[in-house]
A and B are shown apart, each in its own frame.
Chain A
Amino acid sequence: MKRSSHRDLVALLLCLGVLSLLPAVIDTRRMPYLFDVLFSVNVAVLLASSWNILGGFAGQVSFGHAGFAGIGAYAVALLPHHLQWSPWLSLPFAGIAAMIAAILVGGIAFRLRGPYFALSTLALAEVARLVVEGWRSFTEGTQGVVIQQKPLYLFEADGALFYITSLWLAGIALLAVITIGQSKSRYFLHAVGESEEAASALGVDAWRCKMSALLPSAFLAGMAGGILALHTGFLDPESAFSISRSVEPIILTVVGGIGTALGPVVGAVILVPACEFLRSRFPTGHLLLYGVLLVVFMRFMHGGILGMVRRKRL
């Protein structure tokens, strides 16, 4: 087990290293669209992996990851807005803010099981949006906040910087997933996800266990929201807490393979470019595709693409 974990880690670092060289090979200024799409893929991997930790490994399906992403986005926007910080330096606070919110969410939502948990996260994300909308003196309400695009020290805030930052954030997410996937707590999480009563009866502290999945999940989702906000340069409650940020990670994970480290990656690499393409043809076409895929995969291919590949190999 230990050896395979080292192998995964080396493979991950190698991939990240090679992919980091991409801006050196291809000029980002000549192909800005390509790097926009790659950035979207990276953020999608980050967000979907974050969802996968909670929904895939711990079995707690969340409909409210938009809440964490939105809070992260607002942390990145408001710190420079009120304290004149560099937006890039406030990026880590996106994750921290989302984690603080997660403590509250865990206190409320983890009293509920299964579908009730899912619905309560949906409601909590909406509450977060409404609070941001209503607290005008602090958040500018529905008017939104503009984030000044400042360079990060010597680096220019261009496609390459966004690409590499998002790539390494996605890498951190995968590292977290691999660590959880190969630790003992993975079995605790699985047990709690299957049956909380049974797991508790065997001495597993279910609440702590679920919290240990929620906190990293929220942190990563907050980072995803933060970097997205930096990239867009403008933030309003409608877009920051958009329900699609809750649903997209679910779709990518379900299509790729729920509860596997690589599932969200496979889902994002295939679906995000496909949706970019569809979006340029018909504005809502990608939503239709998402809906159909959700139904088809949940119903007929529960293991996702990875599950299919694995079954063929056996």
Chain B
Amino acid sequence: MLLSSLVINGLFTGLIYGLIAVGLTVIFGVMRIINMSHGDIVMLGMYSAWILFEKFGVSPYVSMFLTAPLFFLLGSLIYEILDPIPLKRREMSSLIITLGISFVLATSAMLIFTADYRTVTLPYSQRVIDILGTRLGYPALISSAISLVLMCLFRLFLSRTHIGRAIRATAIDRTSAALLGVNVKRISQATFGAGVVLAGLAGGVLAPIYYVYPFVGSNFIIKAFAVVVLGGMESVTGAIAGGLILGVAEALGGAFLEHSLKDIIVFVLFLGVLFFRPTGLFGGRERNR
């Protein structure tokens, strides 16, 4: 395969990785909580897209927005579990609690939907488009485009709206934000809800281009962490950039490395960045906070 087409493929996949990671990033940025159940919420997004497609024939690209309120509710609920934990041990406790939630979600999906692999086959699933000599499937193109748009919208939301500014203020300094009249608890809850909605949307975007099965979340969680770490833990732009880097690195690695070594790339990137730049490739400024 040509180098350029590898890179283009990687960039398109990278946009979707970015969307998976944005939710994780925003939750971490505001609450210092690493949500281990993020991948399983993506899985729920995939299943809800699959059900609505099978039962009512709704395209995942539409249904993902219809189910978004439910995901907001789920996120607020998870936040209610985590909120009363004293701040001092919240970081580690929430890591283990969300791991438990991840188990609950994945196993429930297994009991309800069985372990069968499901697919969402859209009428235009077989059609391909030619971009600079690279052939891309229609669904992959649409999914990547929607991911990019959603991430840009979320960035605008953070920078332009009142709630967005409150979220950023809370991320920078909880105490000062509270002193300036931000209801920190409400904002944290809304942020958690938004992060979970983004994971659900990522699931909707993934449903037409990936297999749906109960433990699919574990495939995404490590990639999402890698993207978050690459992007510097707390910026949307960083998550987009991190997603693109991971997508391209994987595409190139898949072409030039032996098959079994391909999967190591994501871990090596992840550990390498943590080791050499704990604040992320683009997160140099955060160090002083």
Interface positions of A from 291 to 306, Cβ below 8 Å from B: 291-295, 298-299, 302
- A287 nearest CB across to chain B (Å): 4
In the bound complex, CA of A137 to CA of B75 (Å): 47
For chain B, the bracket of interface size reads 35 or more
Q: How far is the CA of A131 from the CA of B267 in the complex (A)?
A: 12
Residue among B102, B104, B218 making CB contact with A292, cutoff 8 Å: B104
Count of chain A residues with Cβ under 8 Å from any Cβ of B? 41
Secondary structure at chain A's binding surface: helix, strand, loop or mixed? helix
Residues of B contacting A63 in the complex (Cβ-Cβ under 8 angstroms): 99
Indicate which residue in B99, B111, B271 contacts A282 across the interface (CB closer than 8 Å): B111
B235 near A: Cβ within 8 Å? no
Q: Which residue of A lies closest to B109 (CB)?
A: A284
| A-contact 0/1 string along B143-162, CB 8 Å cutoff | 00000000000000000000
Known pairs A134-B260, A299-B81; A247 contacts B99 (CB<8 A) = yes
Query: Looking at the complex, which of B90-98, B173-181, B204-212 is the stretch in contact with chain A?
Result: B90-98
What 0/1 readout, one digit per residue, does chain B (61-101) give for beta carbons within 8 Å of chain A? 00000000000000000000110110001011101110111
Q: Is the interface of B mostly helix, strand, loop or mixed?
A: helix
The number of A-B residue pairs with CB atoms under 8 Å apart is 109
Does B50 belong to the interface (CB within 8 Å)? no
* Residue-wise interface mask of A (239-271) relative to B, using a CB-CB cutoff of 8 A (1 in contact, 0 not): 000010001001000100000000000000000
Chain A residues positioned under 8 Å from B101 (CB to CB): 291, 295
Find the residue from A59, A122, A127, A295 having the highest chain B CB count within 10 A: A295
Q: Are A284 and B274 neighbours in the complex by a CB distance under 8 Å?
A: no
B264 within 8 A of A: yes
A126→B267 contact, CB < 8 A: yes
Check if B107 sits within 8 Å of A291, measured CB to CB.
Answer: yes
Q: Which A residues are in CB contact (< 8 Å) with B107?
A: 284-285, 287-288, 291
B225 within 8 A of A: yes
| With known contacts A108-B275, A130-B261, A115–B104 Cβ distance under 8 A | no
Chain B residues, Cβ within 8 Å of A282: 111
Q: Does B34 contact A (CB under 8 A)?
A: yes
Instruction: Using known A-B contacts A112-B278, A114-B91, A284-B107, determine if residue A122 contacts B260 with beta carbons closer than 8 Å.
Output: no
B95-A61 in contact (CB<8A): yes
Instruction: Contacts A115-B34, A116-B278 given; indicate if A288 touches B103 (C-beta within 8 A).
Output: yes
Q: Which residues of A contact B111 (CB under 8 A)?
A: 282, 284, 288
- Docked complex Cα distance between A130 and B268 (Å): 11
Q: Can you list, as one digit per residue, whether each of B100-116 has a CB less than 8 Å from chain A (1) or not (0)?
A: 11111111101100000
Q: Which of B91, B108, B275 contacts A288 (CB 8 A)?
A: B108
The residue in chain A whose Cβ has the minimal distance to the Cβ of B32 is A115
**B222 close to A126 (CB less than 8 A):** yes
As a 0/1 sequence over residues 260 to 280 of chain B, the CB contacts with chain A under 8 angstroms (1 = contact) are 110110011011001100100
**CA gap between A292 and B107 in the complex, in Å:** 11
Q: State whether A298 touches B93 (Cβ < 8 A).
A: yes
| 4 extra A-B contacts, CB within 8 A, seeds A118-B92, A124-B271, A295-B81 | A130-B260, A288-B103, A291-B100, A295-B100
29 interchain pairs, CB-CB under 8 A: A108-B275, A112-B278, A114-B92, A115-B92, A116-B274, A118-B95, A119-B34, A119-B225, A122-B222, A123-B270, A123-B271, A127-B271, A131-B264, A247-B103, A250-B99, A282-B111, A284-B107, A287-B106, A287-B107, A288-B108, A291-B100, A291-B105, A292-B104, A293-B100, A294-B96, A294-B103, A295-B100, A298-B100, A299-B82
- What residues make up the interface of B, taking CB atoms closer than 8 Å to A? 34, 81-82, 84-85, 89, 91-93, 95-97, 99-108, 110-111, 218, 222, 225, 258, 260-261, 263-264, 267-268, 270-271, 274-275, 278
Which residues of chain A have a CB within 8 Å of any CB of chain B? 59, 61, 63, 108, 111-112, 114-116, 118-120, 122-124, 126-127, 130-131, 133-134, 136, 141, 243, 247, 250, 254, 282, 284-285, 287-288, 290-295, 298-299, 302
